[in-house]
Amino acid sequence: MNWRRVLLVALLVGGFWYVTTHLPEGLGRLGSPGAFSDASGAKSSLSLTEAHAAPNYDPDEQNNIAVYRKALPSVVNITSKSMTFNFFYGQVPQEGQGSGFILDKAGHVLTNFHVIADANRIEVMTSDKHRYKATIVGSDKVHDLALLQINAPNLQPVTLAESSDLVVGQKVYAIGNPFGLNGTMTRGIISSIRSIRGPEGSPIEDAIQTDAAINPGNSGGPLLNSRGEVIGINTLIATGGAEQSSGIGFAIPVNTAKAVLGDLTKYGRVRRPSLGIVSLAINADLADQMGLAAGSGVLVQKTVPGGAADRAGIHGGNQQAYLGNMAIMLGGDLIVEIDGTEINDTTDITAVMARHQPGDTVSVTIYRGRKKLTLKLALSEGREINT
């Protein structure tokens, strides 16, 4: 019986040796990497094609890379922390995120007002991942701007361009922190230059519309030209309720920011010129009903005592009436022009005021009844969003 067992073991060992050494690869042979068989049993091998050198970037790609490398060290991520109330009126912490950019080596950072509104703690993270506590130097709710400051070494400021000569079709780049994804760059063109209403409802003149993807978290970040220079501050998007980019984003022109940075640094707020009036925009229908001398303009309801209009002798209304359920005053002067600019509504006055400082003298053309007059007026300082 023993010789039978020896014979059986010999047969098994011999059979295993034959299978693993004589059958075609891929069918019976085990552990043979890098070899495959097709349907006919013929052996085939895997062949890869690999690049033998670094890729050559085309001029457009090279410009994209150059813009990103130039601007990224100046872009920061801003985290604002505040307290809010839950359903049971208990205080709970709330955190928001946005973007900003470094203006100078002293650590001044420009962002949107709505990024830091109501915050009791603000933290700035630079592109090298270091975090710094930020203080508010000043804010401009009307233009949705805020100036912060951090104490940090080796800061790289942005380069500010001009925004007065921008054209539709010009290539632009947005860098920021959409949805908290810091250091994200998107590209597009200037789609339009138009006046819009900002997040607080105040007008933003010559806002830059772009199709570059701007999403929550991009607010306050820079909009750049093809040289990596700042032309605008990304501020809002048209979403249709989707809360994400729909290809219609808006940026505050950088010239608007330049005009207020001095006041923000010196006073912590913006000193705005004002006519010192409460007004009502007039259209053709209202002008006809009221018997006014012009078909459009701004009707002076009342003047602020001691304000610019009051000092210049502009008259407010003296007869109460109702426009729907709203009480108005009739009989006041109708403003139709300021410094050669036609005035059709309060937005036109706001645009004129944006070009001046408190104390500047302007020419105001009015109708007093049927009589047309032009008065010189020294602008006062206004604190509220009005004319």
Name the 3-class secondary structure at 299. strand
For 359: left if phi > 0, alpha if psi spans -120 to 50, otherwise beta; the answer is: left
Q: Are 94 and 83 in contact (CB under 8 A)?
A: yes
Task: Report d(CA 145, CA 140) in Å as an integer.
Answer: 5
Instruction: Show Cβ contacts of residue 253 under 8 Å, excluding neighbours closer than 6 positions.
Output: 163, 164, 166, 205, 206, 207, 208, 231, 232
Task: Report d(CA 81, CA 58) in Å as an integer.
Answer: 43
List 368's β-bridge partners, or say none: 371
Instruction: Show Cβ contacts of residue 55 under 8 Å, excluding neighbours closer than 6 positions.
Output: none
Task: Report d(CA 223, CA 186) in Å as an integer.
Answer: 10
Tell me which residue of 280, 299, 276, 270 sits closest to 362, measured CA to CA. 276
List 303's β-bridge partners, or say none: 277
Residue whose token pair is 């004319």: 387
Catalytic residue among 80, 219, 245, 279: 219
Name the 3-class secondary structure at 176. strand
Q: Are 254 and 233 in contact (CB under 8 A)?
A: yes
Tell me which residue of 240, 303, 230 sits closest to 67, measured CA to CA. 230
Catalytic residue among 144, 206, 211, 333: 144
Element (H, E) at 273: strand 272-274
The yes-or-no answer on residue 144 being catalytic is yes
Catalytic residue among 114, 211, 310, 333: 114
Instruction: Show Cβ contacts of residue 265 under 8 Å, excluding neighbours closer than 6 positions.
Output: 108, 137, 138, 147
What single DSSP character describes residue 340?
A: T
The yes-or-no answer on residue 219 being catalytic is yes
Task: Report d(CA 149, CA 76) in Å as an integer.
Answer: 12
In the chain, the amino acid numbered 226 is S
- Cite the active site residues: 114, 144, 219
